[in-house]
């Protein structure tokens, strides 16, 4: 056999091996998806851990302050949330938003890595495509229009500028008087910038007296480690990292006893069934988490059918772009069960 044919044969064997591994992995995950229907623990509804985020009635969170109801992550979105609560009797228990650190050290609200999608930065001199928060001062960022990914016109443009964390807390707590509102705050920055953002976030939470009302999240592994090292004993509550969620899911699949595990988080903030091979919204999974004192909150749930399923299964919170829809589903669920609708948070 020639050297060329030997090489081709070798490549073919490698490709077949890789294909076999991929097929095996996918089939295994499908098996795990079906396996997730099996009850692991008998959870009786008794929150023995005392985790305040494990609740009887599913809570409602406005994702990016309700990104489909007003320009996301702006005071206009927060304003819309409060209008819904006051005018229509809705319950919005939690405000979810994202933070990044500016060039001059302010925490501002933005989800994306760049300002392109939500602002008019591409049309301005000195900005352009791929403009980032960290490269600009707060004063510069305040010149941007932050409503370019929102279709409606039913908002106050003066409220649809980039806003700081201090402005949010001032508005929610002092202007609107929602002193007991809870928050999910995600740090988007990575590396040392993410650690500085965490330092600033902690300082601000303490200043406004909301430390025990905030769950801090991040997709940045170094920031998770930094929180555990510097703030675990200072009252900061965080959600699980991606690695921790995966580890918890596999522990669930194999019914691992988590009672003696030293978990650094009290909340799982996860998708439900967006993935073909993994369904994290199963009742068995939620019961397993509750049994070990972990709350389960789901993002980003925008379809009424999925909202209903998660409520039926015992989800602690639904994080949605449409908090009004979540409330409507909750109202229908309560009516069917002949139960009183939950009260408006304040």
SS3 297: strand
Which position has the token pair 């992995």? 25
d(CA 220, CA 287): 28
Task: Give 148's contacts (C-beta < 8 A, 6+ positions apart).
Answer: 117, 118, 119, 120
User: Quick one: CA dihedral 317, 194, 226, 258, positive or negative?
Assistant: positive
The DSSP string of 194-220 is HHHHHHHHHHHHHHHT-GGGEEEEES-
Give the angle 151-152-158 at the CA atoms, nearest 5°: 110
pLDDT tens-digit map of 253-274: 899 999 989 899 999 999 987 6
SS3 17: helix
- The predicted model scores a pTM of 0.87
Phi, psi of 186 (to 5 degrees): -105, 130
Q: What does the pLDDT profile of the chain (346 residues) look like in tens digits?
A: 566 666 666 676 767 777 766 665 555 555 555 556 667 777 877 888 899 999 999 999 999 999 999 999 999 999 999 998 998 888 899 999 999 999 999 999 999 999 999 999 999 988 988 999 999 999 999 999 999 999 999 999 999 999 999 999 999 999 999 999 999 999 999 999 999 999 999 999 999 999 999 999 999 999 999 999 999 999 999 999 999 999 999 899 899 999 989 899 999 999 987 655 678 999 999 999 999 999 999 999 999 999 999 999 999 999 999 999 999 999 998 888 775 655 544 4
DSSP β-bridge partners for residue 97: 185
- The two structure tokens encoding residue 21: 């591994």
d(CA 246, CA 29): 12
Residue 297 and residue 319 in contact, taking contact as beta carbons nearer than 8 Å: yes
- The two structure tokens encoding residue 137: 């001062």
If we measure between CA atoms, which residue out of 30, 58, 54 comes closest to residue 44?
54
- Domains of the chain: which residue ranges? 36-336
pLDDT tens-digit map of 123-168: 998 898 899 999 999 999 999 999 999 999 999 999 999 999 999 9
d(CA 143, CA 191): 27
Residue 40 and residue 252 in contact, taking contact as beta carbons nearer than 8 Å: yes
Give domain 36-336's CATH number out of 1.10.4160.10, 3.40.50.12280, 3.40.50.1820, 3.20.20.190.
3.20.20.190
DSSP β-bridge partners for residue 270: 298
């Amino acid at each position: 056999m020639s050297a060329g044919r030997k090489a081709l044969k070798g490549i073919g064997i490698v490709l077949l091996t890789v294909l076999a591994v991929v097929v095996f992995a996918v089939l295994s995950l499908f098996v795990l998806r079906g396996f997730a229907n099996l009850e692991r623990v008998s959870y009786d509804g008794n929150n023995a851990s005392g985790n305040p985020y494990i609740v009887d009635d599913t809570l409602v969170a406005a994702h990016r302050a309700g990104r489909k109801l007003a320009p996301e992550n702006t005071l206009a979105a927060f304003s819309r949330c409060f209008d819904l609560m006051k005018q229509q009797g809705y319950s919005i228990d939690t405000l979810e938003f994202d933070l990044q650190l500016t060039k001059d050290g302010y925490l501002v609200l933005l989800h994306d890595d760049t300002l392109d999608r939500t602002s008019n930065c591409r049309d301005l001199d000195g900005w352009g495509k791929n403009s980032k928060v960290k490269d600009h001062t707060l004063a510069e960022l305040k010149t941007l229009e932050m409503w370019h990914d929102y279709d409606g016109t039913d908002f106050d443009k003066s409220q649809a500028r980039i806003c700081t964390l201090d402005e949010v807390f001032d508005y929610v707590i002092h202007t609107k008087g929602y002193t007991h509102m809870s928050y999910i705050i995600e740090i988007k920055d990575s590396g040392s910038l993410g650690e500085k953002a965490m330092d600033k976030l902690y300082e601000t939470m303490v200043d406004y007296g909301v430390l025990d009302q905030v769950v801090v999240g991040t997709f940045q592994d170094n920031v998770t480690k930094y929180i555990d090292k510097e703030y675990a004993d200072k009252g900061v509550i965080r959600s699980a990292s991606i690695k921790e969620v995966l580890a918890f899911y596999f522990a669930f699949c194999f019914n691992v006893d988590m009672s003696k595990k030293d978990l650094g988080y009290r909340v799982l903030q996860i998708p439900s069934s967006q993935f073909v091979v993994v369904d994290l919204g199963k009742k068995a999974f939620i019961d397993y988490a509750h049994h070990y004192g972990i709350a389960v909150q789901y993002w980003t749930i925008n379809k009424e059918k999925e909202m209903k399923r998660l409520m039926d299964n015992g989800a602690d919170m639904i994080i949605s772009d449409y908090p009004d829809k979540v409330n409507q589903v909750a109202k229908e669920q309560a009516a069917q069960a002949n139960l009183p609708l939950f009260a408006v948070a304040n």
